[in-house]
Chain A
Amino acid sequence: MSRRRLVLLRATDRKLLRDLRAMWLQALAIALVIGAGVSVHLLAVGMLSSLEQTRDAYYERHRFAHVWAPVVRAPENLMPRLRGIDGVQAVETRVRAPALFDLDDMSEPASGEVLSLPDGREPHVNRLYLAEGHLPAPGRRDEAVLLDSFAAAHGLEIGAQVRATIRGGRETLTVVGRAYSPEHVYAIAPGQLVPDDRLFGVAWMSREALGEMAGQGGAFNEAAIRLMRGVSEDAVIAALDALLAPYGAPGAYGREDQLSDAFLTSELEQLETMGAILPPIFLAVAAFLVNVVVARLIATERSAIGLMKAFGYSDRAVILHYLKFVAAIAAIGVAVGVAVGVWLGRGMAGLYADYYKFPFLVFQADARDYLLAIGVATLAVCGSAMISVRRAARLAPAEAMTPPPPPDYSRALGSRITAWTMLDQQSRMILRQITRWPGRAAFTAIGVATSGALLIGTLFFTDSMEVMTASYFNLANRYDLAASFVEPRGRTAYYSLAQAPGVVAAEPYRVVSARLRNGNREERAALTGAPPEAQLSRLLDSSGRSITPPPGGLVLSRDLAIKLDIAAGETLEIEITEGRRPTVHIPVARVVTTLIGSAATMEIEDLNALLREGPVVSGVNMIVDSSRLDALYADLKAAPGVAGVSLHRLAERNFRELMDQNMGRNILIYTGFAAVIAAGVVYNSVRISLAERERELASLRVLGFTRGEVSYILLGEIALLTVAALPAGALGGAALARFLASAMSSDLYRLPFIIRPGTFGFAGAVVLFVAAASGLIVRRRLDRIDIVAVLKTRE
């Protein structure tokens, strides 16, 4: 008896394989949609956890600081009091100085900084990961460890020499080591958006040597602090500020204001958002597809089910049989998804490793991530199949084996419309098919619309980024180059730069660090003083008109206004944390939207007046004649007071390159996935429709309808649904884009919600193309249909 059962079961398994083979293309289409869901999930979640784990391990092992407390100059003997602050676990004081590097392989200066390392021991905070070489010997003015990416970009090996201007002094440094630092994972100069390994350098030197160069002998100008677990960062910052205020402290800050970590965090947040939105969409579509396909498959399998039951198979055995079928498809999907996800993840990790300077980064999704992806996919798919399978299993064998009665179209919706006499009968058949099974039609349309929406939601980033980039680089900030001074300088410094070779136009700016307060809300910000009617660096209103702060007033960017809960017309309390540290109350004249960065801007003379200083400037924005750049660079590198040079045009190019590279890849991936959904939905709908209506279509051929006329009935339906789905897809895409615009915006930039018409066009074209291609594959089957054989089978 049990042997017999075994043989029978094997027979059903053979049937399963046969069914799978017969429907392989359909099965594959579903499997690919499942696969897309799994791989998006793995990619997003796996990348996120890889980066998080790498970051956490790196930060912990290399004792990345929690708080930075800059000062102008404080005596080293403050150390015990720093250490004594409640919650402080470790403190390292150091000297930090801006630097301009002069390199043989390029004419432009590289900006950056030099940091001190304690002499004769490892630092307690912010340890380096030494990739090569050794730390500088105590007291050696000529030895430096370079940031590995900077050294690599210029081919600087151990023993090579670099010229640098450090706080006005010209030095020649010998590279004794190359290192990674947890403070420079995202190695970027202040005011820049994208790292450029060539243009941003960091060097580490002996504390004693750098102290001498920077005039900080026996003193420090920054303390880096690690906190004990569970300690309030705000409390420590408050204590630090109280302690360090007499030493010119602009205010201590935590990781959220540390450039490298802020960028890294915002990237991780974006990955998290993507991971939360996209995979569920894919899995829902896959579940839907499987449900419909299985329901329809079972409808055509009624007699097979009746037969199985007549042979004595239990309901459970029947359910199990079809679940195995679905599970096989899910298994293929999951396998493809995992493989593609890991492959994409490795590629992506390579990309991240390019601009995140981790000493190690491997794509490593957790077992938990895999289990979740596999579990959710399997559940979604098998769960939805379960519903239709159980209904089928409940059929009595006799009932199952009799053919179902012809579907009753008299109950279809909207029979008035479809009875309209102007219609030809084929079009009427199309419309009745849709109105008789509106749920199916809706499913197909929703699937197609989802795919279109995903496309638009992805392509939107290019449009939005383009607007953001153009507005920031071409409209708001029109200078080619900005030079900043080591410390504020008189107007003569500005005039001498304005008359430097190749400078076509120049405008000064003054910038100080400040705390903005409204009620109990407080934000750290850079307060900028701009010349009246500034042309090179402007704030723009929503229609692109330039906004100039009125005398005595302040223009605030919207992100700050929101954080401070303040509107135009209200008064802001500003504590300037430099110079004589005045606290003033200034009315907010305008609030403007800035797409990149924040702004708190007033007239330069007002700012000078608040600080009770003469007409001093912090730096100069310039437009330069590109044919004379080399001469200008040479001048800047030689100028003692210049602390940093920011090459705006290069920054723009870098930013665009990064966007192209990053966006290009993501768009390719998501376009592929969206196409998979469209193809999966359309192909399955048409294919199943063909299976169900084979007899009708063969009858039409008998009546003398041509292949083209017959395929019109089959493909006309999908064409109509696809076209109907396009506006819905456009709306859904716009909604998705709108959501992503706000979800993906960060402190660093805000994505405007803008979709070019061309984006709609492209998405529509992709959807139409994929739908047409999927339809045509089925049409080829229809063309090969054996009329006689089809009609011979009983209805």
Chain B
Amino acid sequence: MATADAPLCFRTRRLTKIYGDGATAVHALRGVDLDLPEGEMIVLLGPSGSGKSTLLNILGGLDHATSGEFLFRGQDMSEAKQSALTRYRRRHVGFVFQFYNLMPSLTARENVALVTEIAEDPMTPEEALALVGLEARLDHFPAQLSGGEQQRVAIARAVAKRPEVLLCDEPTGALDSATGVRVLEALQTVNDQLNSTTLIITHNSGVADMAHRVVTFSDGRIGEVRQNAERTPPRELAW
């Protein structure tokens, strides 16, 4: 697509992550070189335990790499301190996880407001929830929402600050296919309208067809990177 010569959002070189040490050390990342242009939707595929979440967490500033280089928009993040990482997450990153991690004590609107209150140029919570099709559920508590609805609240919460990056770790993992499709549609809307670089980890290779770019992972390394000439809308994906 037209994204090939866009400026880079993420660039990593020889990125490694080792958990533990000695005999029990686990090499989760064994040298990852990756260039991700801004505004793309990228799907990360790969078997369980291949290091996808580890990479996502490092890119999102939740964790430090053991070695290697990691640049966000040309800025070196590998040596960033805790407080700098917190600021980075606060300003630039939206996360969506398999489990929605909503605050059970806050309504949908309040869950989103939690983020908009500390963001620089946020949407209103109502706008963010409308973006994911939840304008009718503003004052419901998580316990009163279905799994898919909760996940869409989580997406609204992640995107309300208009993040440069949206990182999704198996966002449909806990959902049935119909609900999953609605969630993916919401992600696509966000990517289209906000132009956030969107990274989606999934088990489901069918999902890859909606991405600009597909990165395949195995055993802590990148296997293949392919660009889709044609993107399939979520509704038509082979589930």
Please list the residues of chain A having a beta carbon within 8 angstroms of any beta carbon in chain B. 405-410, 412, 424-426, 428-429, 432-433, 436, 695-696, 699-707, 787-788, 791-792, 794-795
Decide if A795 touches B99 in the complex (CB within 8 Å). yes
- Sorted nearest first, the 6 A-B pairs with minimum C-beta distance are A704-B90, A408-B143, A432-B105, A704-B89, A699-B101, A425-B114
Decide if B143 touches A406 in the complex (CB within 8 Å). yes
Q: Which residue of A lies closest to B116 (CB)?
A: A425
Task: Tell me whether B72 is interfacial, beta carbon within 8 Å.
Answer: no
Decide if B62 touches A787 in the complex (CB within 8 Å). yes
- A409 in contact with B143 given A424-B117, A704-B91, A788-B63 (CB within 8 Å): yes
Task: Tell me whether B118 is interfacial, beta carbon within 8 Å.
Answer: yes
- A706 in contact with B99 given A407-B104, A409-B143 (CB within 8 Å): no
Decide if B104 touches A406 in the complex (CB within 8 Å). yes
- A432 in contact with B115 given A406-B143, A410-B143, A704-B87 (CB within 8 Å): no
Residues of chain B lying within 8 A (CB to CB) of residue A792: 53
- B167 to chain A: closest CB distance in Å? 10
Residues of chain A lying within 8 A (CB to CB) of residue B143: 405-410
Task: Tell me whether B103 is interfacial, beta carbon within 8 Å.
Answer: yes
Task: Tell me whether B95 is interfacial, beta carbon within 8 Å.
Answer: yes
Task: Tell me whether B97 is interfacial, beta carbon within 8 Å.
Answer: yes
A795 to B99, CA, bound (A): 7
Residues of chain B lying within 8 A (CB to CB) of residue A696: 101, 103-104
Interface of A is mostly: helix
Q: Which residue of A lies closest to B63 (CB)?
A: A788
Residues of chain A lying within 8 A (CB to CB) of residue B99: 791, 794-795
Decide if B62 touches A409 in the complex (CB within 8 Å). no
Task: Tell me whether B142 is interfacial, beta carbon within 8 Å.
Answer: yes
Residues of chain B lying within 8 A (CB to CB) of residue A433: 105
A706 to B84, CA, bound (A): 10
> 19 interchain pairs (CB within 8 A)?
A406-B102, A406-B104, A407-B104, A408-B104, A408-B141, A409-B141, A410-B140, A425-B111, A425-B113, A426-B114, A428-B105, A428-B106, A429-B103, A699-B101, A701-B86, A702-B101, A703-B95, A703-B115, A704-B89
A410 to B117, CA, bound (A): 22
Q: Which of B57, B86, B103, B115 has the most CB of A within 10 A?
A: B103
A787 to B117, CA, bound (A): 22
Known: A426-B114, A702-B60; 8 extra A-B contacts, CB below 8 A, are A407-B105, A409-B143, A425-B111, A433-B105, A696-B104, A706-B83, A707-B86, A795-B99
Q: Which residue of B lies closest to A710 (CB)?
A: B86
- B137 to chain A: closest CB distance in Å? 12
A408 to B140, CA, bound (A): 10
Residues of chain A lying within 8 A (CB to CB) of residue B140: 410
Task: Tell me whether B110 is interfacial, beta carbon within 8 Å.
Answer: yes
A703 to B117, CA, bound (A): 12
Decide if B118 touches A429 in the complex (CB within 8 Å). no
Residues of chain A lying within 8 A (CB to CB) of residue B144: 408, 410
Task: Tell me whether B214 is interfacial, beta carbon within 8 Å.
Answer: no
Task: Tell me whether B93 is interfacial, beta carbon within 8 Å.
Answer: yes
Interface string of B101-130 (1 = CB under 8 A from A): 111111000110111011000000000000
Residues of chain B lying within 8 A (CB to CB) of residue A788: 57, 62-63
- A70 to chain B: closest CB distance in Å? 78
A424 to B116, CA, bound (A): 11
Residues of chain B lying within 8 A (CB to CB) of residue A703: 89-90, 95, 114-115, 157
- A425 in contact with B104 given A703-B89, A704-B90 (CB within 8 Å): no
**A-facing residues in B14-73 (Cβ within 8 Å):** 53, 57, 60, 62-63
Q: Which residue of A lies closest to B95 (CB)?
A: A702
Q: Which residue of A lies closest to B169 (CB)?
A: A791
A436 to B104, CA, bound (A): 11
- B201 to chain A: closest CB distance in Å? 13
Residues of chain A lying within 8 A (CB to CB) of residue B62: 702, 787-788
A783 to B93, CA, bound (A): 21
Residues of chain B lying within 8 A (CB to CB) of residue A701: 86
- B82 to chain A: closest CB distance in Å? 8
Residues of chain A lying within 8 A (CB to CB) of residue B57: 788
Which of B83, B89, B117 makes the CB contact (< 8 A) with A702? B89
A696 to B106, CA, bound (A): 11
Decide if B118 touches A705 in the complex (CB within 8 Å). yes
Decide if B105 touches A704 in the complex (CB within 8 Å). no
Residues of chain B lying within 8 A (CB to CB) of residue A410: 140-141, 143-144
Interface string of B151-167 (1 = CB under 8 A from A): 00000010000000000
- A232 to chain B: closest CB distance in Å? 71
